[in-house]
Amino acid sequence: MRGFLTVVHLTLHEALRRRVLLAALVCGMAFLLLDGLGLRAVVRDLQQNPGMPLLQRRMLLSMFVLAGLFAVNFLSVMTAVLLPVDTLSGEIASGVMQTLASKPVRRGEILLGKWAAYVVLVGGYLLLLAGGVLVEARLLARVTPPHLLSGLSLMTLEGLLIVTLVIAGGTRLGTVTTGVVVLGLHGLAFIGNWVEQIGTLAGNDAARSIGTVASLVMPSEAMWQLAASRMQPPLMRELHVSPFSPASVPSPAMVAWAAGYAVVVLLIALRLFRRRPL
């Protein structure tokens, strides 16, 4: 436990000192500024058109907030890949890991310490940006999406899943290869989701099945789809009037699959790292 906590501390310390987290925060703040200015412009425009029905007005604002959360999700996915991508592979390649692993700590403590620290960092980053979007929505448009807790939890699970895959990749693969593989898997899930949505709208079972299989292979995008579905008014969801209103909503079983997926990948990572020649 002592080794685990020390590695968590070391990893957090490193992230705070390195420019990559600072760059992510600066980009995030720029995004929040842009999002706030855009929302303010939309709200002013709506105020100048009092003839628009209240329901339509609410749906427009909800769509804007979901667009903001979609951007937060995208930034968080990128941060979850880029922030920890060299933490294992880079230290193994440079020889830093030899010094750590020769200390009286289990290799599992090193891996879990790094994993936990990056989950905290990515989760914190996501909640900071999502919180910014939600505060702006509340203050500027008096809009609060429903089911925030479950929606944000699903987005956090997506980030956790990606961090876990990146850490697992680093036990065996190089830095660039790990990044390419994890982003490739997420891209597969993203495209698979669109195939599923189009297949559902067109009534094409084969296309829908392809999307489901893609989500099983990489359940990250399914978590965003489920989160987006929860965090929008029911009518908007039923009418499919926005790109964030999926025609095919992942089942709750997909959440269990994603959580189990992360646990299994983490266990595999622990096993691989324990036997990794350093």
Partner 1 sequence: MAGPVIEALGLSKRFGAKTAVAELSLEVRAGEVFGFLGPNGAGKTTSLKMLLGLIEPTAGAGRVLGAPLGDRRARARIGFLPEHFRFQEWLTGRELLWFHGRLFGLGGVRLAARIDELLARVDLLDAAHRRLREYSKGMLQRIGLAQALLAGPALVFLDEPTSGLDPLGRLMVRDIIGELRRDGVAVFLNSHLLGEVEATCDRVVFLKEGRTVHELALAGSAAAALTVELRLGPHDGGLLEGLQRFGRDAVEAEGWVQVTVEGEESLPALVRWLIARGVDLYELRARRKSLETWFLEVMGEDQRPG
Residue 142 CB: number of other CB atoms within 10 A?
A: 10
Size of the site for partner 1 (CB under 8 A): 24
CB 14 → partner 1: shortest distance, Å? Answer: 6
| Nearest distance from C-beta of residue 270 to partner 1, angstroms | 16
- Closer to partner 1 by CB, 14 or 42: give it: 14
Nearest to 237 by CA among 156, 129, 147, 153: 147
204: alpha, beta or left, given left = phi > 0 and alpha = psi -120 to 50?
Answer: beta
**Distance (Å, rounded) from C-alpha 124 to C-alpha 119?**
8
CA dist 150 and 114 (Å) reads 26
**Binding status of residue 100 toward partner 1 by CB under 8 A:** yes
For partner 1, the binding residue among 37, 52, 96, 263 (CB under 8 A) is 96
Question: Which residues 3-22 are close enough to bind partner 1 by CB under 8 A?
Answer: 3, 6, 9-10, 13-14, 17-18
Q: In this complex, which beta carbon is closest to partner 1, that of residue 7 or of residue 165?
A: 7
Which residue, 113 or 211, has its beta carbon nearer to partner 1? 113
* Options 101, 181, 249, 259; binder of partner 1; rule CB under 8 A: 101
Stretch that binds partner 1, among 33-41, 50-58, 91-99, 159-167 (CB under 8 A): 91-99
Select from 56, 94, 209, 251 the one that contacts partner 1 (CB under 8 A): 94
Decide: 226 and 259 in contact? Cβ < 8 Å: no
Q: Which is nearer to partner 1, 47 or 102 (CB)?
A: 102
Cα distances (Å, whole numbers) of residue 180 to 160, 175, 177, 230, 269: 18, 9, 5, 31, 18
Stretches 30-38, 74-82, 94-102, 161-169: which one binds partner 1 (CB under 8 A)? 94-102
Site string for partner 1, 35-74 (x = CB under 8 A): ----------------------------------------
